[in-house]
Homo-oligomer: A and B are copies of this chain.
Amino acid sequence: MAELKNDRFLRALLKQPVDATPVWMMRQAGRYLPEYRATRAQAGDFMGLCTNPELACEVTLQPLDRYPSLDAAILFSDILTIPDAMGLGLYFETGEGPKFKKSVTNAADIEALPVVNPQQDLPYVLDAVSTIRRELNGRVPLIGFTGSPWTLATYMVEGGSSKDYRRTKALMYNDPEVFQLLIDKLVESITAYLNGQIKAGAQAVQIFDSWGGALSHSAYQEYSLKPMQRIIDGLIKENEGRQVPVILFTKGGGQWLEVMANSGATALGLDWTTDIAQARARVGDKVALQGNMDPSILYAKPERIREEVAAVLAGYGKGSGHVFNLGHGITPEVDPAHAGAFIESVHELSAQYHQ
């Protein structure tokens, strides 16, 4: 593998000194970019893009070509590849979000689910990782990712997106043993999946717990955090002579940072509702922090974006341990020039905190 030319992102996750705060954006390869929309049109549809390693590589690199100051690449894929590989039949209807042909609703459905073997069942993802690593050629590190067990379980039980996770919660509250079996199969599958990504070249991994924030304090710990801890425990700790950091991002999890900081994760992702200064005080030296500007600020004028970047940087304060990001994915309506203003301002305004 080519030597890593920019390791600011990996160093910040490990709280090692950096010259500026590293920055990347969740969903940075996405619909706000005209070049992404062109490649996606070429692929036919979203899953066509995910399952084609060359095209997945192409869209992964597009934001890096447009914004040379980005400090990390993230694998282009979807969090629902695992349930798809379990046989549920993922598809996307325009404007409707993800859907499954089959959902799991009872003990028999869940007992019948296979555990995923990523080498056999998801070779296109591992191929995409190694292709991207080769094409990156050491430019920046590559992030692998997965959805959390709880988050994947909601899609599998509901058969797609949901507003209040009614069926999933009914199963969880009424049939905790059956629900736990689903979680256990996801823990085993996801652990193998992330380890497969790491072996294929992912230099850090992020667990997207998109819907953990819909749980009560106690249900979060039992059904979302504990399974994520088990995954983290099972991950390859070091590869290519470097530690492989793990970023845990529970959207809506700002109330639970203290318990999340004890999960074994290297860093916690913060959404924009959390004050980063308070978050740093609450987690102490246990973990690094990633985040957390409101993605909606990218609709504002570049001057306003810079002000907000400055405020988040000042909130975190001096020293390493901060990876700048949005508090959630960048949205399709954002002007790419505004994203550029955001990215540039992070490096420019953060140098003072690293002297």
Contacts and interface: CB of A to CB of B under 8 A. Distances in A.
A201 B182 CA distance: 52
Number of copies of this chain that the complex holds: 2
Nearest to A254: B255
A296 interface: yes
B216 A273 contact: yes
A294 interface: yes
Interface stretch (A86-94, A166-174, A316-324): A166-174
Nearest to A311: B218
A294 B331 contact: no
A93 B254 CA distance: 35
A300 interface: yes
Which secondary structure dominates chain A's binding surface?
helix
Contacts of A164: 295-296, 331
Interface residues of A, number: 35
B273 A173 contact: no
A66 interface: no
Contact of A217 (B275, B295, B300): B275
Interface string A259-294: 000000000000011110010000000000000001
A67 interface: no
A219 B294 contact: yes
Interface of A: 164-166, 169-170, 173-174, 213-220, 252, 254-255, 272-275, 278, 294-297, 299-301, 304, 311, 327, 331, 333
12 contacts: A166-B296, A169-B297, A170-B296, A173-B297, A174-B299, A174-B300, A174-B304, A214-B273, A217-B275, A219-B294, A252-B252, A252-B273
